[in-house]
A = this chain, B = another copy of it.
Amino acid sequence: MARPKKDDTRDTRRDILDRSLELFATHGFTGSSMRDIARAVGVRESALYHHFPNKNAILTTVLGESGPGALNAMMTGDLVRIIEAMGPQQFLRTMGEAVVALWATERERHLMRLIMAESPRLKQAGLFDVQKQIQSVRARIGEVFTKLAERGLIRQVDPDAAVLRFMGPMLLIRVIHLADLNVTPDMAALRDDLSRHLDSFWLTVRPEAPPSGRRRRA
Protein backbone atom coordinates (compact mmCIF):
# COMPACT_ATOMS: atom_id res chain seq x y z
CA MET A 1 0.00 0.00 0.00
CA ALA A 2 2.92 2.32 0.58
CA ARG A 3 3.87 2.43 -3.07
CA PRO A 4 1.27 1.88 -5.77
CA LYS A 5 2.03 -0.35 -8.78
CA LYS A 6 3.67 1.48 -11.59
CA ASP A 7 1.33 3.00 -14.10
CA ASP A 8 3.35 3.45 -17.25
CA THR A 9 1.13 6.22 -18.40
CA ARG A 10 2.27 8.55 -15.67
CA ASP A 11 5.32 10.42 -14.64
CA THR A 12 4.87 12.06 -11.26
CA ARG A 13 7.65 14.59 -11.69
CA ARG A 14 6.17 15.75 -15.00
CA ASP A 15 2.72 15.91 -13.44
CA ILE A 16 4.00 17.98 -10.54
CA LEU A 17 5.50 20.53 -12.92
CA ASP A 18 2.42 20.67 -15.15
CA ARG A 19 -0.12 20.92 -12.34
CA SER A 20 2.06 23.46 -10.57
CA LEU A 21 2.25 25.74 -13.58
CA GLU A 22 -1.52 25.51 -13.84
CA LEU A 23 -2.04 26.28 -10.16
CA PHE A 24 0.57 29.03 -10.01
CA ALA A 25 -0.98 30.63 -13.09
CA THR A 26 -4.52 30.50 -11.74
CA HIS A 27 -3.97 31.16 -8.02
CA GLY A 28 -0.48 32.62 -7.88
CA PHE A 29 2.59 31.13 -6.25
CA THR A 30 1.73 31.95 -2.65
CA GLY A 31 -1.89 31.20 -3.44
CA SER A 32 -1.02 27.59 -4.29
CA SER A 33 -0.01 25.37 -1.37
CA MET A 34 2.01 22.17 -1.52
CA ARG A 35 -1.22 20.56 -0.37
CA ASP A 36 -3.04 21.96 -3.41
CA ILE A 37 -0.32 20.70 -5.72
CA ALA A 38 -0.30 17.26 -4.10
CA ARG A 39 -4.07 17.02 -4.42
CA ALA A 40 -3.96 18.09 -8.07
CA VAL A 41 -1.27 15.52 -8.85
CA GLY A 42 -2.92 12.80 -6.76
CA VAL A 43 -0.15 12.08 -4.26
CA ARG A 44 0.67 13.08 -0.68
CA GLU A 45 2.61 16.22 0.11
CA SER A 46 5.57 14.17 1.24
CA ALA A 47 5.84 12.61 -2.21
CA LEU A 48 6.41 16.07 -3.66
CA TYR A 49 9.46 16.44 -1.44
CA HIS A 50 10.91 13.30 -2.96
CA HIS A 51 11.04 15.08 -6.32
CA PHE A 52 11.78 18.65 -5.22
CA PRO A 53 13.44 20.01 -2.08
CA ASN A 54 10.79 22.70 -1.60
CA LYS A 55 8.06 24.72 -3.23
CA ASN A 56 10.46 27.30 -4.61
CA ALA A 57 12.38 24.60 -6.47
CA ILE A 58 9.18 23.65 -8.27
CA LEU A 59 8.70 27.22 -9.45
CA THR A 60 12.34 27.46 -10.49
CA THR A 61 12.10 24.25 -12.50
CA VAL A 62 8.78 25.16 -14.13
CA LEU A 63 10.23 28.41 -15.37
CA GLY A 64 13.66 27.07 -16.08
CA GLU A 65 12.42 24.46 -18.50
CA SER A 66 10.17 26.94 -20.30
CA GLY A 67 13.36 28.81 -20.97
CA PRO A 68 13.56 31.78 -23.28
CA GLY A 69 10.87 30.15 -25.39
CA ALA A 70 10.34 29.38 -29.03
CA LEU A 71 9.97 33.07 -29.72
CA ASN A 72 13.58 33.75 -28.88
CA ALA A 73 14.71 30.88 -31.05
CA MET A 74 12.86 32.50 -33.92
CA MET A 75 14.53 35.80 -33.18
CA THR A 76 18.01 34.31 -33.38
CA GLY A 77 17.80 33.09 -36.99
CA ASP A 78 19.07 35.25 -39.81
CA LEU A 79 15.85 37.17 -40.08
CA VAL A 80 17.03 39.61 -42.69
CA ARG A 81 17.85 36.82 -45.13
CA ILE A 82 14.47 35.20 -44.60
CA ILE A 83 12.65 38.48 -45.00
CA GLU A 84 14.62 39.22 -48.15
CA ALA A 85 13.62 35.81 -49.51
CA MET A 86 9.91 35.90 -48.82
CA GLY A 87 9.33 39.64 -48.99
CA PRO A 88 8.60 41.82 -45.99
CA GLN A 89 4.84 41.91 -46.28
CA GLN A 90 4.49 38.16 -46.65
CA PHE A 91 6.93 37.74 -43.78
CA LEU A 92 4.81 39.94 -41.53
CA ARG A 93 1.77 37.76 -42.16
CA THR A 94 3.59 34.47 -41.67
CA MET A 95 5.29 35.67 -38.52
CA GLY A 96 2.05 37.11 -37.19
CA GLU A 97 0.29 33.80 -37.61
CA ALA A 98 3.16 31.90 -35.99
CA VAL A 99 3.31 34.21 -33.01
CA VAL A 100 -0.42 34.05 -32.43
CA ALA A 101 -0.43 30.27 -32.71
CA LEU A 102 2.29 30.12 -30.07
CA TRP A 103 0.73 32.67 -27.74
CA ALA A 104 -2.64 30.96 -27.90
CA THR A 105 -1.35 27.64 -26.58
CA GLU A 106 -2.49 26.82 -23.08
CA ARG A 107 1.08 26.58 -21.86
CA GLU A 108 2.06 30.03 -23.14
CA ARG A 109 -1.09 31.54 -21.67
CA HIS A 110 -0.28 30.01 -18.29
CA LEU A 111 3.30 31.20 -18.49
CA MET A 112 2.18 34.69 -19.42
CA ARG A 113 -0.20 34.85 -16.47
CA LEU A 114 2.45 33.49 -14.13
CA ILE A 115 4.95 36.06 -15.34
CA MET A 116 2.45 38.91 -15.09
CA ALA A 117 1.58 37.90 -11.56
CA GLU A 118 4.94 36.92 -10.20
CA SER A 119 7.41 39.04 -12.14
CA PRO A 120 9.00 40.68 -9.07
CA ARG A 121 9.58 37.30 -7.44
CA LEU A 122 10.88 35.82 -10.68
CA LYS A 123 13.24 38.69 -11.23
CA GLN A 124 14.55 38.59 -7.70
CA ALA A 125 15.18 34.86 -8.05
CA GLY A 126 17.06 35.50 -11.27
CA LEU A 127 14.54 33.39 -13.16
CA PHE A 128 12.98 35.86 -15.54
CA ASP A 129 13.26 39.58 -16.11
CA VAL A 130 10.33 40.84 -18.18
CA GLN A 131 11.74 44.29 -18.78
CA LYS A 132 15.11 42.97 -19.83
CA GLN A 133 13.44 40.40 -22.06
CA ILE A 134 11.33 43.05 -23.78
CA GLN A 135 14.29 45.37 -24.22
CA SER A 136 16.33 42.59 -25.77
CA VAL A 137 13.63 41.67 -28.28
CA ARG A 138 13.26 45.37 -28.94
CA ALA A 139 16.94 45.78 -29.70
CA ARG A 140 16.92 42.71 -31.92
CA ILE A 141 13.97 43.89 -33.99
CA GLY A 142 15.51 47.34 -34.16
CA GLU A 143 18.60 45.90 -35.85
CA VAL A 144 16.45 44.02 -38.31
CA PHE A 145 14.56 47.19 -39.24
CA THR A 146 17.80 49.06 -39.69
CA LYS A 147 19.11 46.45 -42.10
CA LEU A 148 15.83 46.23 -43.96
CA ALA A 149 15.90 49.98 -44.43
CA GLU A 150 19.50 49.82 -45.70
CA ARG A 151 18.47 47.28 -48.28
CA GLY A 152 15.49 49.36 -49.30
CA LEU A 153 13.00 46.68 -48.27
CA ILE A 154 11.27 49.18 -46.03
CA ARG A 155 11.34 52.93 -46.07
CA GLN A 156 13.90 54.96 -44.13
CA VAL A 157 12.28 55.23 -40.71
CA ASP A 158 13.53 55.76 -37.17
CA PRO A 159 14.02 52.11 -36.22
CA ASP A 160 13.36 52.75 -32.51
CA ALA A 161 10.01 54.31 -33.26
CA ALA A 162 9.15 51.58 -35.74
CA VAL A 163 9.85 48.90 -33.13
CA LEU A 164 7.58 50.59 -30.60
CA ARG A 165 4.88 50.81 -33.25
CA PHE A 166 5.36 47.16 -34.12
CA MET A 167 5.66 45.59 -30.67
CA GLY A 168 3.25 47.81 -28.76
CA PRO A 169 0.07 46.67 -30.50
CA MET A 170 1.28 43.05 -30.36
CA LEU A 171 1.47 43.30 -26.58
CA LEU A 172 -1.87 45.05 -26.42
CA ILE A 173 -3.50 42.38 -28.56
CA ARG A 174 -2.01 39.67 -26.40
CA VAL A 175 -3.27 41.27 -23.22
CA ILE A 176 -6.74 41.89 -24.61
CA HIS A 177 -7.29 38.45 -26.09
CA LEU A 178 -5.12 35.99 -24.20
CA ALA A 179 -4.41 37.21 -20.68
CA ASP A 180 -7.67 36.13 -19.05
CA LEU A 181 -7.46 32.40 -18.45
CA ASN A 182 -11.14 32.17 -17.61
CA VAL A 183 -12.17 33.22 -21.09
CA THR A 184 -11.76 31.02 -24.16
CA PRO A 185 -9.93 33.23 -26.62
CA ASP A 186 -11.95 34.55 -29.52
CA MET A 187 -9.46 33.57 -32.20
CA ALA A 188 -11.39 35.27 -34.97
CA ALA A 189 -11.36 38.61 -33.14
CA LEU A 190 -7.71 38.04 -32.28
CA ARG A 191 -6.69 37.40 -35.89
CA ASP A 192 -8.79 40.34 -36.93
CA ASP A 193 -6.95 42.70 -34.60
CA LEU A 194 -3.64 41.17 -35.56
CA SER A 195 -4.07 41.60 -39.30
CA ARG A 196 -5.50 45.07 -38.75
CA HIS A 197 -2.30 45.88 -36.90
CA LEU A 198 0.08 44.25 -39.35
CA ASP A 199 -1.57 45.80 -42.41
CA SER A 200 -1.61 49.20 -40.80
CA PHE A 201 2.00 48.81 -39.68
CA TRP A 202 3.05 47.81 -43.16
CA LEU A 203 1.57 50.98 -44.58
CA THR A 204 3.80 53.00 -42.27
CA VAL A 205 7.03 51.27 -43.30
CA ARG A 206 6.58 50.09 -46.90
CA PRO A 207 8.94 51.76 -49.32
CA GLU A 208 7.72 55.09 -50.66
CA ALA A 209 6.19 55.04 -54.09
CA PRO A 210 8.98 55.62 -56.62
CA PRO A 211 9.28 59.31 -57.47
CA SER A 212 8.45 58.54 -61.11
CA GLY A 213 4.84 58.19 -60.05
CA ARG A 214 4.75 54.48 -61.00
CA ARG A 215 3.32 52.65 -57.96
CA ARG A 216 4.85 49.33 -57.19
CA ARG A 217 2.31 46.55 -56.78
CA ALA A 218 0.86 46.26 -53.25
Q: Which residues of A contact B (CB under 8 A)?
A: 26-31, 113, 116-120, 123-124, 130-131, 134-135, 157-158, 160-162, 164-165, 167-173, 175-176, 179-183, 193, 196-197, 199-201, 203-204
A199: chain B residues at CB < 8 Å are: 161
A119: chain B residues at CB < 8 Å are: 116, 179-180
A182: chain B residues at CB < 8 Å are: 120, 123-124
Q: How far is the CA of A201 from the CA of B131 in the complex (A)?
A: 23
* Total copies of this chain within the assembly: 2
**Nearest CB of B to A166, in Å:** 9
Closest chain B residue to A157, Cβ basis: B200
Across the interface, do B169 and A200 meet the contact criterion of CB distance under 8 Å?
A: no
Q: How far is the CA of A17 from the CA of B174 in the complex (A)?
A: 32
Partner of A200, one of B134, B162, B167: B162
Apart from the given pairs A157-B200, A161-B199, 11 other A-B contacts in the complex at a CB distance below 8 Å: A116-B117, A130-B175, A131-B180, A162-B200, A164-B172, A165-B165, A165-B201, A165-B204, A167-B169, A168-B168, A171-B175
A27: chain B residues at CB < 8 Å are: 30
> What would be 24 A-B contacts, judged by CB atoms less than 8 Å apart?
A27-B30, A28-B31, A113-B120, A116-B119, A117-B118, A119-B180, A120-B181, A123-B180, A131-B176, A131-B179, A131-B180, A134-B176, A135-B176, A157-B200, A158-B196, A161-B197, A162-B200, A164-B173, A164-B193, A165-B165, A165-B200, A165-B204, A167-B168, A168-B170
